[in-house]
Chain A
Amino acid sequence: MNAKKSSFFDHVWDFFCSLKLAISTLILLALTSIIGTVIQQNANPQDYVREYGETAYRIFSALNFLDMYHSWWFLTLLTLFAVNLICCSIKRLPRILKLVNQPNLDPDERFYKTMANGGELTVGLAPEKVRDRLAEFLGRKFARPRVAEGEGIIQLFAQKMPWARFSVYVTHLSILVIFLGAILGTVWGYKAYVNIPEGSSTDKVWPRGSDTPIDLGFEVRCDRFEVQFYPGGMRPKEFVSDLVVLENGREVEKKTIEVNNPLTYKGITFYQSSYGPMGDPQFHFKVRERATGKTVTVVAHKGQPVRLPGGQAFRVADFTEHFQTFGSAARIEMLPDLAGKNPAGRSRKSFVVLQKFPEFDAQRGGEYIFSLLDYKQRYYTGLQVAKDPGVWVVWLGCFFLVAGTFSAFFLSHRRLWVTVRAEGGKTHVRYGANAHRNQAAFAIWFEDFARDFEESLKK
C-alpha cells in the first residue's frame, strides 16, 4: 500500500518535472495565444454580436475568449508552465551542485575511457617535478589545479567556468522572476489616465475600466500643451506638455514631457498619450473696409457673430489648421445686418481666409478685406498614468533571461584530470578532459593544448 502510494506520487512528481510537459505546455501556450490575436479582446458586446452573431458571442464568452489572456484556463497554463520550471529545477539542481562541488578527484582508467579527449605519456622527470611543472602549466594555460596526493600517485584536477552549468537554471528562474514582477505590478500598481486642460490641475486619475478615481496624493498642473507639425504637412512632429507637480500648493517638480519622455514623481509616471481641443479657438482678425481703408482688429469665437464698424456682422463658420497644403484657414460668413438686410455688393456670402496669405482676401472684391492674424486654441493634454512597483523586478528577470540563455548556449564547463604515477623509475602521466557544451570546438582547442601539455613535460 505504502509502496503503491509513493509510486503514485513519484508519477505525479515525474510528470511535473518532465520535458514532455515543458514542450506540450509551450506548444499549447503558442496555439491558444493565437485566439486572442484573431478575436479582438475586451471590445463591446454589441461589436461581437454584430461581427460574429449572438450564438458565437455566447460561446466565445463562455470560453473566456473575449479576455483570454486573463482567463482561468490561460492562467492555469501559465501556472503549469511555472510549476514545471520549479519542479525540474528542484529535481536537477542537487545533481548539478554535486557535480560542480564534488568533482571526481580520484579518476581511474575506466573514468578516463569515458572522456572524448585525452592521452598518456611517460616521462623521465620525477613525479614531484611533473606535479610542479603541470601545476604551473595548467595555472598559466587553463586553470589552477587541485592536487591530491596518495600512495605513489598524484591526482590533479582543474576546471573552468563550473558556474556555466547553472545558466540553464538562471534562465528558468528568470521567467519566474518576470512572473513575480508582473504579479507585483498587478497587485500594487495601476494603469490610469487623466485629461488636464491647459492651465488647470488635478489630483485624481481614472483607472482603466473603473469609475472610481485614484487619489495621487499630490497635484499635477498642465501649464501648456503644444502640437508641432513637420513643415508642409499634417505629420505630427511632437506633442509637448509642460507639467508641474504641486505638493500642498508648492511647486516641487517641473518637466516638459513629450511622447517617449515621461515624468515620474513618487513612483507614478505620467506619459504623453493624447490631446484634444478645449472649447473653440479664439481668432484675431484684421478687417479693412475697402471703401474707407479704415482698419480694425477684432476678436472672434467660432460661430458667434461679430459686429464690424460699418454696421455689418460676420461669424467664423468653420476653421481648420490644415486647409489642403495652405495651413490654417477660417471660413467666414457675412451675416445680415441688424436691419435684416443681406450683405450688399457682389461679394459672396461665405469665403475662406488663409492665415499664411494675408492679402489673399483682397482679390475677392468684398466690402471688407479679412486677414487672419492668429488664433488661440486651448487644449487638454491626455496623460497615461502608471504605477508599477514590479517593473524593476521584470527588468531584472529579463536581464537574467538574456544573460542566462547566452551563457547556457555559449559558455561551457570544461574539466581536466591528470593522474601522475611513478612507474619503474619513470613517471606515467594519464590525462583527459571534457566540456559540457560545444564539444567540437573543445576538441579542436584540446589538440593544441595537449601538444603544449606534453611539451611542458619534456626536456
Chain B
Amino acid sequence: MSSVNLFNFTTIAYFSAMILFVGYLVTRKEGVSLVANIATWIGFVLHTGAIGLRWYESYQMLGADGRAPLSNLYESVVFFAWTIVLIYILLDLKYKQRAVGAFVVPFAFLGMTWAQLNLNDAIDPLVPALQSNWLTYHVITCFLGYACFAVACGVSIMYLIKSGKEQNNAESTPAGGVMSLFPSIRVLDDINYKAIMIGFPLLSLGIITGAAWANYAWGTYWSWDPKETWSLIVWFVYAAFLHARFTRGWVGRKAAWLSVFGFAATIFCYLGVNLVLSGLHSYGGG
C-alpha cells in the first residue's frame, strides 16, 4: 500500500462523508449525521496514516535526504485538507453541531480531489532554500490558521443563508425546514468568532516564522514579496473583523461577509499568488 493509494481512500471517505452530511440535511435523521461523522473520522485516520506513510516513503526513496511531507503544492494541499478536518473534528467535539460538517468537509474533499487528480505527487529531495526547520514550523502554523479560516467561512455561509431566510420571513421566527438543523445564528456567529480568534494568532505565528526563516536564509525578514504582502492583507482583513465585533453596525451579516472575504483572500494568498502572480514560494516546481 503506497501513500498515494491511502490518499485515494481518504478522498473516498471524505466524499462519502460529504454526501452523508448533505443527506442529513435532507432527511433530518440524526443517524445519518452519525454515519457522516464516522466517515469523517475514518477519512481523518486514513489521512493521518497516509501523511505518515509518505514521510516514511521519503526516507526509503531518498535515504538521509528524507523530509516531512510539507514541501510542494501536492503535499501542502493534502496537509491543508488534513488541518481543515482536524479543526472540524475539534469543533464537533465541543459544539456537536453536525450540520456544520456539510459546509466544512467539502473544502477538504475538494482539496484532496484536486491534489489526487491534478498535482504532481513525486517525492523530490529539498532544494537548498527549503532545507530548514523553519519550513515545518512555518507550514504547520500557516495551515492551522488557514483551516480555522476555512471553518469560519463555512459557518459564515450558514449564517448568511439562515439569517437571510429569517429576514425574508415576515416575523423573525427561527427558520424551519433544513434550516432547523443549522445551529442558531447566535451559535454560528459565536463559532465564526472563536474560529477566527484561534486562526488569527496562528496566522500571525505563520507570518512571523516565515519572516524569521527569510531573515535566516537571506537576511531580510520582510521584502514585500507578493506572498508576504498577501499574507499581510489576510492579516489586515481578520484584524478588521476582530475589531468590527466591538462596533455596532458591523456585527451579524457584515461580520459574516468579512469572514467570507477573509477566506477568499486566504485562498488567493495560498494559491492565487502562485498561479497568477510571481515571487518566492514556487512550491518547488510542484
Contacts and interface: CB of A to CB of B under 8 A. Distances in A.
A88 to B, nearest CB: 10
Contacts of A385: 219
Contact of B218 (A236, A271, A402, A409): A271
Contact of B247 (A23, A237, A269): A23
Contact of B131 (A259, A384, A410): A259
A453 interface: no
Contacts of B219: 191, 262, 269, 271, 384-386, 388
A401 B128 contact: no
B224 A260 contact: no
Contacts of B237: 26-27, 30
B45 interface: no
B217 A271 contact: yes
Contact of B128 (A26, A34, A69, A237): A237
A384 B221 CA distance: 13
Contact of A69 (B224, B233, B239, B250): B224
Contacts of A384: 218-220
B167 interface: no
Interface residues of B, number: 44
Interface stretch (B47-55, B74-82, B205-213): B205-213
Given A37-B229, A385-B219, A405-B204, A260 B128 contact: yes
A238 interface: yes
A237 B125 contact: yes
Contact of B243 (A22, A258, A401, A405): A22
A237 B201 contact: no
The residue among A260, A391, A405, A406 with the most chain B CB atoms within 10 A of its own CB is A260
Interface in A220-271: 230, 235-239, 258-260, 262, 269, 271
Contacts of A271: 217-219
A59 interface: no
B226 interface: yes
Contacts of B124: 235
B269 to A, nearest CB: 10
Contacts of B128: 236-239, 258-260, 272
A260 B131 contact: yes
Contacts of B250: 23
B129 A402 contact: no
A262 B216 contact: yes
A410 B193 CA distance: 13
Contacts of B247: 19-20, 23
A402 B233 contact: no
A36 B229 contact: yes
A386 B201 contact: no
Contact of B197 (A34, A41, A235, A409): A409
A409 B217 contact: no
Nearest to A81: B236
Contacts, number: 110
Contacts of A394: 211, 221
Interface in A180-226: 182, 191
B68 interface: no
B240 A260 contact: no
A260 B204 contact: no
A37 B273 contact: yes
Contacts of A191: 219-220
Nearest to B222: A182
Contacts of A23: 240, 243-244, 247, 250
Nearest to B232: A33
Given A33-B229, A230-B65, A406-B201, A26 B240 contact: yes
B127 interface: yes
A398 interface: yes
Contacts of B226: 37
Contacts of A238: 128, 131
Nearest to B277: A37
17 contacts: A23-B244, A23-B250, A26-B239, A27-B240, A30-B233, A30-B240, A37-B226, A37-B230, A182-B222, A230-B65, A235-B125, A259-B131, A269-B219, A384-B220, A391-B221, A406-B201, A409-B200
Given A23-B247, A237-B125, A402-B201, 7 more contacts: A23-B250, A26-B240, A34-B233, A38-B277, A237-B128, A386-B220, A394-B211
Closest 3 CB pairs of A and B: A386-B219, A259-B128, A30-B236
Interface of B: 65, 124-125, 127-129, 131-132, 134, 197-198, 200-201, 204-205, 208, 211-212, 215-222, 224, 226, 229-230, 232-233, 236-237, 239-240, 243-244, 246-247, 250, 265, 273, 277
